[in-house]
Every structure is written in C-alpha cells, then in structure tokens.
Structure 1
Amino acid sequence: MDGYTVPNFLAQRAFLTPERQALVSEGTSLTFKEMHSLVLKRAAQLSKAGVKESDKTGVLMSNSLDMAVTIHALFYIGSTAVLLNNRLTSEEIAWQSNHSQTVIIITDEQCKSKAPVNICETVSIADLPKAESGLKSFLAEFPLEKPATVMYTSGTTGHPKGVIQSFGNHYWSAAASALNLGLHHQDRWLLALPMFHISGLSILLRSVIYGICAVIAPSADARLLNSLIHQQKITIMSAVSTLLTEMVQSMDGKYPDFFRCMLLGGGPAPLSLLQKCAERGIPIYQTYGMTETSSQIATLPPEDCFTKLGSAGKPLFPCSISIQNDKQNCQPNEAGEILVKGANVAKAYLYEEAELTDSGGWFRTGDIGYQDEEGYLFLLDRRSDLIISGGENVYPAEIEGVLLSHPDIFDAGVVGMPHAKWGEVPCAFITSRKHLGEQDVMKYCQEKLAKYKVPHSVRFLEKLPRNAARKLLRRKLKDILQGESGNV
C-alpha cells in the first residue's frame, strides 16, 4: 500500500466529531476539538525546542494527558516518536537513545532523572518554550508507509530491537480490532497499560480512529481500576493476567452490565483466573500479539473461553496465521513455530537491512504453538524458553498455569536448569500468599503434570522480575540460578 495516505488521525476525528469526548485524565476532560487545539500548541512548542520533521524524538514520560498530547504533536510535526520505557535503568535508556539516533528527548518531572546524559538534548515538558498559538502548518495526511513510532522489544533476551511501526501498521491494527470487537460510539476504553508499549499506545490511537473516549488511569492500582470501571462507565479494558488477577482479588461483586470486554494479553491465561472471571461475569477476550504486530493479531471471544480453553482464538479478519516446522506447514494439533501475516505487521527493525517478513509477507515470531482442526491458535511458549528434558519438550507456560491454579500461589515462573542425566529440568520460582514448602508445591504439581514436567526445585521470591508490560523476565530467573551455581 506504498504511496497511499490516510488523514491525520486526530485532525480528521476533530473535524468529524469535534464535540465528542476524547480523553479523560485525572479530572481533566477534553473533546476531540479541544485536544486538536492543545496538540497544535504543543507541536508549536516542540518545534521551537528543536523537533524537526523526519527526526527521531524520544518520549520518556509516564502515562498522562501530557504524554498523549506529546505523541500526537510529534505526528503533527512528522517526527518519529521513539517511545522509551521509563521503567528501564538510565543505562538502558541511554543505549536505546543512542541506537535509535534520537535527536531530542521530551520528558516529564517523574522521568527526567532517567534521561541519558551526553547522548542527545533533553527537554522537560515544564521547560518547553512558550507558544502563543498553534503550529500553522502540520502534517494533514499520513503516508501509510511513514514511520510513526519506534518501540524497543521487551528485551527478555539480549539487546532489544527497535520495531518501526508505520502509520499504516497502526491504522490496520485498529481496523482489525474493530472488525473483531465491534464498535459502539459510547465505548470508553480504560488505558491502564503503559503508552510506551504497544498495548497502551494502541488504545490511544484507536480512540481517535474510532471516535471513542480513552480514560487514562493515573496508576495500575487494582482497586483504583475497579473503581474507574464503575465511575467512568468503562466498556473495554486491556490487561495482562497478573494485573487482572489483582483486580479480581480486590473487586467486590460484579462489573456493571455496560462493561463488555476485558482484552487479555501477555500469554495463556491460567484456568483458575478464567474460572474466577466467569464467576464474576467478566467477559474475557484472550489475545495474541506483540510489538511487531502493532498489538493483537488473534483473539478468542468469550463464548469460546472454556470450550477452547487456553486458546488465543483465530486470526483477526485482515490477518493470517501459519504453524511451521522447518518451513513445512504443520498438521492440526502439531506444534511448531507461529508465523503471522497482515498489514499491521511491521516491515523492519531499526537499522537492520533485512526485512522483518519473508518474500511471502510472513513474520516468524519465535513463539511455539499449534492450531486445532478448527483453526484456533494455542500458544505454548517462546522457542527460546523451551526446556528439553530427556528429549521431551517441556513448556514453562504449562507448568506456570498449574502453579497459578494453587490457591496460595500468587505468581509463578519456570525456567530450565542444567541436569547431568536429563540435560535440563524445570525449576520453579513462586510468590506465595502464605508459607508453602518445596514439597507442598511438588506434590501439587505431581497430581496435575507428567513426571518429567514436575519442577525438580522450587525457589521462593518476594516478587518475580517482570517488565513494564508485566511480562516475566525469565533471563533474570536464569541469572539467579547461575549465581547460585557460581557460588558453589
């Protein structure tokens, strides 16, 4: 679709439905017309600060109205927004800023202490030059192939890669989601996930493409989020399993009838969580997606939640999924690497010559899964996380699901540890609500898992290492094991 354009997302929305509510954030409410005016003024400020079209501009901010306005303002200027994870260390942020060749970083009071020194210029929102009026000339149309954002992958293994997401990627992602979830003009989407991740940014962009309101949560506190669902008449929310678990544990009663969708990503949901959500009347849409697919690419509707337990559903309407081993298509129920295809899939990583997809448009995700006879996708694990024990494939996510079904286990992670006889065996790391012994955990697993899948060892942690998107950082669990072996 190179050569095609779409209207500037926010400017077009402000033209079509100017008085419709666009954004709510900590007591402030904006219509699309008001947001457009605010963005024009911010764009003028950024231009005075040195932001130029086609430059890469870092955004190191916390979820807020300011962050939303700044992202749109960079689009108006034509500058590519490099969305920096504010939960990383200063050293990690410096690496990404240097690798992306970011010219200037826009930050806020909460995050400015992490801004890198001597990499590029940093300007706080509070210190931006004054602008009496809005930007006179802005990017009224977005070329579909033009880079809109750069997001670095989670970095669960090695150095992260910068994913170039075009305006076309974002537009097709929003369109695919709407074709799946349906679209109601009264929808209100609770934005509780960080906007420096695709899970959060996609909500901001969908709100202007759809013409619905995004409600920015000031924090990911479970009780606060439950309260906002009632107070703000939220109809849709995106979450990951760990966050949803906290919300279910802290909620009283059921969600209101107007709440129609809990979009759940971040890996297979434990059966125990799905059962609790069913008891509370929470409609769960399990999804599969990643930074490279500009959000979800497959989704399971709630009516299939239990009949297709553990499935991420079927590909969204404009997308395709294939399972392959050694470049050969797998049979139904045969595990292999998951390949995805669609206009929402990014074309390249930043400063890497090879395209992200092959000649047929397929992206190899590195995830392992299978499709059943009806085409439902089941995600097993990351290929890099696979444990091979005595020739048997052991999927950590399966063991974690069993561990999380234990009423006293709050969080769990599993990695492989070296074993003289079997090559590798599973080792579990858990956070428990009350005292549990290693034998208690092993006995519970023995009742539910094949012998070779039962953890050979259990470590108890106060908190498991997770990134800003709440994804488990298995490499840090492996670091703990390596540290133990190094001290022997």
Structure 2
Amino acid sequence: MASIVGEFISYSDRVRAAARLDPDKPALIDCGRVLSYAALVAGIDAFRGFLAERGVSPGQCIAVCAMNSLEYGLAYIGAVAAGVVVAPLPQSATPESLLAMIGDCGAVLVFTDTDCGTRLTAAGCRTPLVALGSVFEDLKSAPAAPDAPEVAPEGVFNIIYSSGTTGVPKGIVQSNAMRDAHVELARSCGYDFDSVTLVSTPLYSNTTLVSFLPTIALGGTAVLMRKFDAGQFLALSERHRVTHAMLVPVQYRRLMEFEKFGDFDLSSYREKFCTSAPFPAELKHDVLARWPGGLTEYYGMTEGGGLCILFAHEHPDKLHTVGRPAPDNDIRVIDEDGKELPPGEKGEIVGRSRGMMLGYHNRPETTSAAYWISPEGKRFMRSGDVGRFDEDGFLILMDRKKDVIISGGFNIYPSDLEDIIRSHPDVVDAAVVGITSKEWGETPAAFVVAREGNAEAIRAYANQRLGKLQRISRVQLVEQLPRNAIGKVLKRELRENFYDKEGLNQTCIGTSE
C-alpha cells in the first residue's frame, strides 16, 4: 500500500468538491430521509450563519449529545466548516459526567435530542441547549453566512472524549491535519465516490468518525442507524446496496449468530472494517467464510500514533494478529524502562505517525505522560497495550498493560486465558481480570457467558489446559459482559461488581489455587 501522506485539504473543501461532482447524490440517509450533497452544502453554509447569529466564533467549541441523525451529521459538518470545534458526547453517559465534559471542553452551545436535553435540563446544565430536531427549520431563517474561515492544518477539528473504561473520560484534541490523514487512509483502504457506508455505531465515537467523515469527504453516501440491531443492519445493507461498514467485534458476533443471516443479499459489500476491541481469530474466519467482500482490521488509538492494518482476506494465516504497521507509521515495542525491544519480545506498544493528537484537553501532565521519546528524540504515543511482532512483522496483541495480572511475580495475560475459556463448547464469551490474593498478590477470576453448564466445570476445563501459574481461581457466570457503546468490555466494572457481590474487601481475598 502506497504512502498515505498528501497535501492538506480542509474537510469543508472536500465536501464542496464532492457536491460539485454530483449535487443530487444522497450524502446522508436516515430512516428514509435523504439529504443530498447540494442540500448538505446549503445547510452547512446556513449553519455558519446560525452559529454566528448566536455569537459562536471560529475556535470556540460546541457539544453535540444525541442519537445518530441527519441533523447530527449536518451540525457536525457545519460546525467544522465554520471553524468551530466539535465535542461529540456519549448520550449514554450520566448527566453528571456529561456536565463535566461540557465544562471541560468549554462548549458555548450544546445540541441535543429530546432525551439528552431533558436529562441535561434536569441536571441543571447552564450551557444553552439547542434542540437538534428543529435545526432544519431554524436554518431557514438563519442570516447570511459570514466568510468561511481559513483552516490551518494545526487547528482543532474536534475533541473526542475517551470511552471512560479507565475512569473519568479525557478530552482528546484532534487537529484538522489528523482528520485529513484519516480521509487519506480511508481512500487507500477502498473508500471512494461510489461508497455506501452503513453507520451503526454512535457518532461520538472515533471508531464511527474514521468511517463516517471520510465517506462524506470522498463523495460517498452514509446510511445512519440510530441504534444497532442485527436484523435491521442486514435489511439496510441489502436495501441500500451497502459497500462499506465499520463494526466492532460484538456486532460481528451478533450478526454472524443471527439466525437469518444467510437470507440477505450482501453481495454489494466491497470492504468491512473492525476496530476498538479484540477481534477473535475464529470470528474473523467466520466473517471471511460467509460474508462477501474483504475484511480489514485497524489497530490504533483515538489519540493517534501507531496504526496497524490487517487485510484479513489477504492474510488468512495471520488472523491472530492485528496486521503490519500502516505506511508512514513507526511502531515499536519497549520494556518497563523505556528501552526498545527486538522483534519477538513482549512489551508496551508505542507508535508515531502523521495522525497524532494535539494533546489531552486541559491536561498537560497527562499529555506528557502519554509520550515516549525515542533515542533519536522523536515523540511516540504510548498505547498502554502489550504485544510483540512476529517473524513476518505482524503485530500480536497480548493485553492492555493495566490488565496484565501479576501473580507471584509472574505476568499472566488475560487474553490467553480468555481464548482457552472460549474454546469450551458451552461458552459464548468470557473476560478475565485480576483479583487480590493474600498468597499471590493477584489471581485470575473469570466472568463467563455460557449457554449451559456450571462455573466449576468451566473452571476445571480451563485449568486442565492452562499452565500452573495461569490457573483460574474463580469463575462467575453472568448473563452478559458489561460493555461500552463500541463494544469494549468494562473490566473495571467487573472487578468492582465482583467485590461488591462477594462482600469482600479488596485487600483480603485469598485463593484456593
């Protein structure tokens, strides 16, 4: 794959160029409603006037908290065209968390749907709220738009709040240049003017935005789902002759397990993508076997830095990996002391590329801690993930660094244990975390979703196949694993719920192993 570095083009200029090619082409489709490229450009021009009338200037920030919709897409793209920073917020967050994010990003307006607006009002939000549902009507009376601002590559495009799997969300500041790099990456991975992308994850997530924004920038059509449903996803894929989709692993699993999956015509698919969470090799194999088109996995961070790409359809023998570094990406593995490790050795993954965040908003110390400086003085992003390169240069992920269990002084990688547990015929899903042990410091505990069977039988099955140091001390059956909106397992929540349920103090748990 060729280099993805090119001359910077502003996002607004890309959208306008696409509109000139085919003004009547659908840009956004939402529940049967269609917004053409001509209407999109007219809308973003009117939106600039709408913002200016309310005193919002280039460089200031607006927040958006809502389900996916035409109005959401227009507000996002319109604000960017006005030089205004966008902070898309997770509508599933608590009102207290939303208020904290609104305060952190300094939003001067918050665009909401009815549900989120009601919750923010009840929580005492002092930032003016704008109902997204009335935006199209409001734009009809918007004053003439001011001149479009100059867009600098180093200017701020948006602030993306982290998923919160490790505590209070951090605001990740992404530049115009970083988003432009995402567009060029998408082009190199098959997005083009003829793309029809089905968007089934929330627009506040970078997972969604690295697919949604390039689709529109390159003149394609984005079909928006407000909430994922396997049957509806397949029906929309067939109806709109969808060519591209970005999904997370839990969505792939639900689709492949959907009883009527084979009844739908998915022959229009050219490429499917996956990111954000571990993608089991057996699930990749199933997707390749039964779903037309290619399958590409991205491994990277919202913060940017290193990106690996696995073209699974080209490398069926490498499905246990996340691929090779993308062009113009420098990815290395370092030890606890920050020393670079040779291929084959396990350590923390760090990366450097054109697409790197400007920093964490209002958190200079956290930003500094996120970087590793190479011996030659270059800045790399720390991933917090543990992995190693194989002999062919493919990256194998082990675990999140914070999730590695240290038992009796030895490192235990939960992903190794989870793979063994999932091989049990009655197990649907599993997650392993470390719980405190008097004897060993930490010991593995497994949370298992099973079709049938009992916890002790599953534990015995796993421990017969694991090394002595890896043995699981507890198995707890659960109906489902807690996940965020883009499918990441909330292991912190599993630990907390375990201690609460057992009535145990986190400093005084023993183990029978």
Task: Give your verdict on TM over 0.5.
Answer: yes
Q: CA deviation at 1:130?
A: 5.3
Aligned-residue offset at 1:29: 2.2
CA 281–103 in structure 1, closer or farther in 2 if over 3 Å, else same: closer
Mapping of 1:248-267 within 5 angstroms? Answer: 248-250=256-258, 251-253=260-262, 256-267=266-277
What's 2:168 paired with? 159
Contact 1:193/1:200 (8 A) holds in 2? yes
Most deviating of 298-307 and 382-391: 298-307
Partner of 2:487: 470
Q: Match for 1:360 among 378, 383, 396? A: 378
Instruction: Identify if the C-alpha distance between structure 1 residues 52 and 158 changes in structure 2 by more than 3 Å, giving closer, same or farther.
Output: same
- Other-structure match for 2:477: 460
1:260–1:446 CA distance, 2 compared to 1 (3 A)? farther
SS at match of 1:142: coil
* Distance in 1 (alpha carbons) for counterparts of 2:504 and 2:492: 18
Output the aligned Cα RMSD: 2.4
What SS does structure 2 have at the residue aligned with 1:223? Answer: helix
Report matched runs for 1:300-319 at 5 Å.
Answer: 300-319=310-329
CA distance in 2, matches of 1:413, 1:103: 41
* CA displacement at 1:302 relative to structure 2: 1.9
CA contact (8 A) 1:319 1:340 kept: yes
Q: State yes or no: 1:400 paired with 2:409.
A: no
Does the Cα contact within 8 Å between 2:433 and 2:445 map onto a contact in 1? yes
Shift of 1:64: 1.0
Q: What one-letter code is carried by the residue in structure 1 that aligns with 2:251?
A: L
2:227 aligned with 1:219, yes or no?
Answer: yes
**Aligned to 2:41, which of 16, 36, 43?**
36
> Which residue of 2 is the match for residue 6 of structure 1?
10
CA distance in 1, matches of 2:144, 2:395: 47
Say if 2:491 is the partner of 1:480.
no
Report the Cα distance in structure 1 between the residues aligned to 2:158 and 2:41, rounded to whole angstroms. 19
Decide whether aligned partners of structure 1 residues 443 and 93 sit closer, same or farther in structure 2, where only a CA change above 3 A counts. same
Larger CA deviation: 316-325 vs 355-364? 355-364
SS of the equivalent of 1:247 reads helix
Q: Choose from 60, 63, 67 the match for 1:62.
A: 67
User: C-alpha separation between the residues in 1 aligned to 2:228 and 2:11?
Assistant: 33
Residues 99/218 of structure 1: CA separation in 2 closer, same or farther (3 Å cut): closer
SS in 1 for 2:307: strand
Unaligned segments of structure 2, at least 5 residues:
506-513
Change (3 A) 1:285 1:255: farther
More displaced stretch, 217-226 vs 355-364: 355-364
Q: Does 1:329 align with 2:349?
A: no
Does the 8 A contact of 1:76 with 1:138 survive in 2? no
**What is the distance in 1 between the residues matched to 2:488 and 2:383?**
16
Identity between Structure 1 and Structure 2 (%):
26
Aligned-partner SS, 1:293: coil
One of 319, 343, 352 as aligned partner of 1:341? 352
8 Å Cα contact 1:465-1:473 kept in structure 2: yes
Tell which deviates more after alignment, 219-228 or 449-458: 449-458
2:76 matched to 1:71?
yes
- CA deviations on 1:129-165 (whole Å, 9 max, x unpaired) are 5543564225364211111110111121122211001
Give the letter aligned to residue 182 of structure 1. G
User: C-alpha offsets along residues 234-288 of structure 1, whole Å, 9 cap, x if unaligned?
Assistant: 1111111111100111143275332122211123322331232233145432221
- Cα deviation, residue 232, structure 1: 1.2
Equivalent residue of 2:323, what SS?
strand
Residues 421 and 287 of structure 1: is their aligned pair in 2 closer, same or farther, counting only changes over 3 Å?
same
Helix, strand or coil at the partner of 2:74: helix
Tell me the residue number matched to 2:183.
174
Q: Is the Cα–Cα contact under 8 Å of residues 61 and 86 in structure 1 kept in the other structure?
A: yes
Number of the residue aligned with 1:124: 131
The answer on 1:238 being equivalent to 2:238 is: no
- Report if the CA contact (8 A) 2:255-2:261 is conserved: no
Decide which moves more: 28-37 or 242-251: 28-37
For the 8 Å contact 1:336–1:368, the answer to whether it is kept is yes
